[in-house]
């Protein structure tokens, strides 16, 4: 029942994403990430994990490159059914992986999520209770259960839904930042 409801939301959001051009997604990403930059949790964080965005996600490439000069930036790398954490060192140390076509860092491996201060988390959808719906592989839920880092979900306004169906493995965010809303 929960999986069916989750898949329905994934399909609705996928359709909404298709209606927004890549350029518009890039433009709409800037104010979202500017809000993240203003958070006390971000300002205090020395080690920040964020993702290298896919074309349909809040665009993080400029943010990663900007903040890598001042903070230790950690990016996830898909390894089987878990996320391996690697330090972002430079664009020259990024390579495209064959399965999802995601650019991933080849920098040093981070021991684990325990030392990360803040994690910026992508999602297909979020709700008012800060629940997150991912793509269905549970990569982030597995990672987030082992951290005390402040968890910030980021999304476009159309990714905010009334209710995300959850199960016992789903990890809520500490804050969700969208274009016009912070919850």
Closest by CA position to 139, among listed 77, 86, 50 = 77
Residue range 86-127, pLDDT digits in tens:
999 999 989 987 766 778 898 888 877 888 999 999 999 999
Whole-angstrom distance, CA of residue 42 vs CA of residue 120 = 10
Whether 133 contacts 124, CB under 8 Å: yes
User: Which range of residues forms the domain containing residue 77?
Assistant: 2-177
Number of domains in the chain: 1
Task: Take residue 107 and report the two structure tokens written for it.
Answer: 């920098």
Residue 99 within any structural domain of the chain? yes
Kindly state the percentage of the chain with pLDDT values over 70: 97
Q: What is the pTM of this model?
A: 0.92
Buried/exposed code over 67-97 (b: 16+ C-beta within 10 A; e: otherwise): bbeebbbbbbbeeeeebebbbbeeeeebeee
The pair phi, psi for residue 123, each rounded to 5°, is -165, 155
Q: Work out the average pLDDT over 148-155.
A: 96
Whether 22 is covered by a domain: the verdict is yes
Residue 97: inside a domain: yes
Torsion of CA 159, 17, 104, 110, to 10 degrees: 0
Q: Domain containing 78 — which CATH number?
A: 3.40.50.10420
**Confidence check: pLDDT of 183 > 70:** no
**Domain for residue 183, yes or no?**
no
Is residue 182 a part of any domain in this protein? no
């Amino acid at each position: 029942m929960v999986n069916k409801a989750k898949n329905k939301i994934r399909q609705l959001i996928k359709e909404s994403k298709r209606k927004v051009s890549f350029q518009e997604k890039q433009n709409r990403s800037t104010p979202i990430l500017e809000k993240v930059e203003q958070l006390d949790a971000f300002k205090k964080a020395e080690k920040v994990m964020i993702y290298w965005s896919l074309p349909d996600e809040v665009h993080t490439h400029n943010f990663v490159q900007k903040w890598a000069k001042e903070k230790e930036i950690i990016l996830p790398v898909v390894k089987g059914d878990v996320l391996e954490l690697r330090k972002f060192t430079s664009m020259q140390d990024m390579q495209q992986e064959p399965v999802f076509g995601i650019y991933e860092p080849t920098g040093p491996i981070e021991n684990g999520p325990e030392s990360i201060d803040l994690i910026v988390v992508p999602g297909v959808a979020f709700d008012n209770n800060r629940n997150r719906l991912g793509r269905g592989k549970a990569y982030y839920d597995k990672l987030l259960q082992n951290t005390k880092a402040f968890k910030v979900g980021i999304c476009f306004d159309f990714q905010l839904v009334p209710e995300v169906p959850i199960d016992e493995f789903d990890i809520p965010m500490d804050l969700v930042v969208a274009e016009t809303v912070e919850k």
